[in-house]
Structure formats: structure tokens, C-alpha cells
Amino acid sequence: MSTIEVKNLNKTFKTHRKESGLKGSFKGLFWREAVYKEAVKSVSFSLEEGELVGFLGPNGAGKTTLLKMLSGILYPTSGEVSVLGYTPWERDRDYQRQFAIVMGQKNQLWWDLPPSESFLLNRDIYGVDHRAFQRTIDEMVSLLDLKDLLDIPVRQLSLGQRMKCELVASLLHQPRVLFLDEPTIGLDVISQEKIRSFIKEYNRLKKTTVLLTSHYMADVEALCKRVLVINHGGIVYDGALSALSERYVDHKVIKIRFDTPQAPTPPETLSGVVEWDAAHAVLKVPKKEVARTTHQLLSDFAIDDLSVEEVEIEEIIRHIFEEQPEIEGEVIEG
């Protein structure tokens, strides 16, 4: 049985459109336009125990809405969800003790208290055994290098330090499922790398099932072998991260450093040029033309270095997002 099973999940939000000005406000007392926006549309997928899966999508694609339904914060409009055998929005206490959600833009630590006090509060909320609690604290403090931060008020910690403490607070009860929503947002490069290393090591040690959303492709590339791509509320790709280029990209990138200065413009016989100057060039070439183009370049130019590279993951994801037009909400009078 899968740890997470989602079948035909839908979530529609109802809002109202208001005309501007005093006249619009008065009119709105008696009649308003209802706008229905499908945030999640017929989403289906499953995750096995111990999987660490990336969940990608632009702002407004439905990522956070889906995580909130999986954690029981929101009710769906229709569809089925099973997480560890529980229906999340029934909010069974046994289920609440077995998952955690970390949202990079929301705090669960008490602002004026040191992290150690919030940890003790979470221990009592979840009924964690004192010995198990101390063992978990010692383990995670070591992994995240937090020893000198535990007794400093949260408001005096940097964003990266607070994010580490947020992770500890969420994992004190040893959840079997972890939802991470933008855990590295706003962090510097060093802090991002430390958070990634911790998540990877924790997943390896505890076999926790992790669903990670992030706008930083470095997070996904470092942690996830499998990705779900959501756009305008629907899943448009579910598979290996490594297979994205094979499915969505039909070209490779050739980068050149010339041995001698070149003319300011490329020759007309050379196709696919996207960058060109006296010392460097970049070409986008169909995969089936790479060998022929490489041979032409080596024959026609004095080249100091030449590399053939796959398209970067960020560009592939951007291509997926751009190729599907957004569907506007349906307007219903009433």
C-alpha cells in the first residue's frame, strides 16, 4: 500500500468580483458576480514509503493548496486522498501525530522565546517520550549545528537559523510523512546547502516520505530523483527528473571557446547560434544534428575548447510552464 494515494482530487475556490467606486460598493450589496477558480484539477499520484519527491510549479499553480489538503488544513471539492491510511481532512489525532508540514513563509516557533522552549512545548503537544525527545534533539542539533542557538530568542536569530529550528520543531515527533513548502526561500547559498544536506540525510536515516515544493531548482536537483510538475492546477509530468529533457527538449547546447579571435558575426552557413563574439559561441542544435554540427565547427574554426551539454533543468521547467495557457475562472452571475 502506498504511503500517499491521491485520486482525482479537485479544489475550487469561490470569490466575488466587485466593481470599483462607491456605485460598485452599493451595487455589491444586492448583486455580485461569483468567480470560481479551479486551484487543483483532477490530480492523481502516489508516493511510496521513503520517497523524496519534488513538487514543481509556478506561483498559483496549486502546489500549496494541494499540500494543505494532504495535511488536512483544507477540504477538497471532490476526490480521494489517503495518507498512511487516513483521510487528512477528518483530522484524526493518530494521523496528526504521524505527519508534519513546514512552510518557509510561516513560523511555528514562539517569537519571543528561545527555540528550546518551543521544542518542549511541541514535546508535550505530541506526547513525545522524554528520552526519545532528548535523543531526537541531540541528533538533529548535531546534524544542523544548532548547539549555540537553542537558548537565544527566536526574534534574534537569522532567517537561516530560524529555518533550521523550524525543521527541528516539526520533526520532534518523528513523523512518517513530511511536507516541505519552500523550506529554503529567502536563504543565502550556504544556509540553503545546509538545509538540503539535512533533509537528504534525515530522509536516508528515517525513511520518511517527503514531498518538497521549491522554486529553487538546486533544491530539487540535489534531493529528488522523481518530480511532479503541476501547472494551472493539473499534473503535467510525473516521472524521473533525469527524463524531463528527453520528453520536453529536442536539442542540446554546444559551447565553444575559440583559439583565435573571430568575426563579430557568425557565418550564414552556421545555424542554431544563440550567442557569438570574438572569443565564445553558444549554439542550440537538434539532437540528431549534434554530430554533424560538431564536425563542421572543428573543421571550420580554430577551437580551444568545445562542450556538448544537456539543456538546464530550469529551462526545461520554464518551457513546460510557458507552453500551456492559463484557463481563466468561470464567471457566474448571482
Nearest partner of 165 among 189, 185, 183, 177, judged by Cα: 183
Residue 231 lies in a domain: yes
Domain end, chosen from 245, 279, 296, is at: 245
| Whole-number pLDDT of residue 230 | 87
Domain count, the chain: 2
Rg of the Cα trace of the chain? 25
Task: Give residue 8's region: left, alpha or beta (phi > 0; psi -120 to 50).
Answer: left
Is the domain of 194 the same as that of 94?
A: yes
Q: State the 10-residue block means of pLDDT for the chain, 334 residues long.
A: 91 82 74 83 93 87 89 93 94 91 80 91 89 89 86 89 88 92 83 88 92 85 90 87 79 91 88 91 91 91 90 76 53 33
pLDDT by residue (tens digit) across 161-207?
888 898 889 999 999 999 998 888 878 888 888 889 989 998 998 99
Residue 273 lies in a domain: yes
Is the domain of 214 the same as that of 280?
A: no
Domain span holding position 181: 4-98+175-245
Burial class (CB in 10 A: 0-12, 13-18, 19+), 209: buried
Is the domain of 186 the same as that of 282?
A: no
Strands 4-17 and 78-83: antiparallel
Residue 185, domain CATH: 3.40.50.300
Is the domain of 184 the same as that of 293?
A: no
Residue 121 lies in a domain: no
Is the domain of 241 the same as that of 299?
A: no
| Whole-number pLDDT of residue 105 | 67
Is the domain of 186 the same as that of 279?
A: no
Is the domain of 35 the same as that of 87?
A: yes
Residue 226 lies in a domain: yes
Residue 235 lies in a domain: yes
Average pLDDT, the chain: 86
Residue 46 lies in a domain: yes
Residue type present at position 294: T
Helices (H), the chain: 21-28, 63-70, 93-96, 115-126, 130-144, 159-171, 189-206, 217-223, 244-248, 290-300, 313-322
How many C-beta atoms lie closer than 10 Å to residue 90's C-beta?
Answer: 9
Residue 238 lies in a domain: yes
| Whole-number pLDDT of residue 95 | 92
Residue 9 lies in a domain: yes
| Whole-number pLDDT of residue 334 | 34
Distance from C-alpha of 318 to C-alpha of 204, rounded to nearest angstrom: 30
Is the domain of 267 the same as that of 304?
A: yes
Domain end, chosen from 228, 245, 262, is at: 245
Is the domain of 205 the same as that of 271?
A: no
| Whole-number pLDDT of residue 276 | 93
Is the domain of 180 the same as that of 263?
A: no
Is the domain of 205 the same as that of 85?
A: yes
Is the domain of 236 the same as that of 202?
A: yes
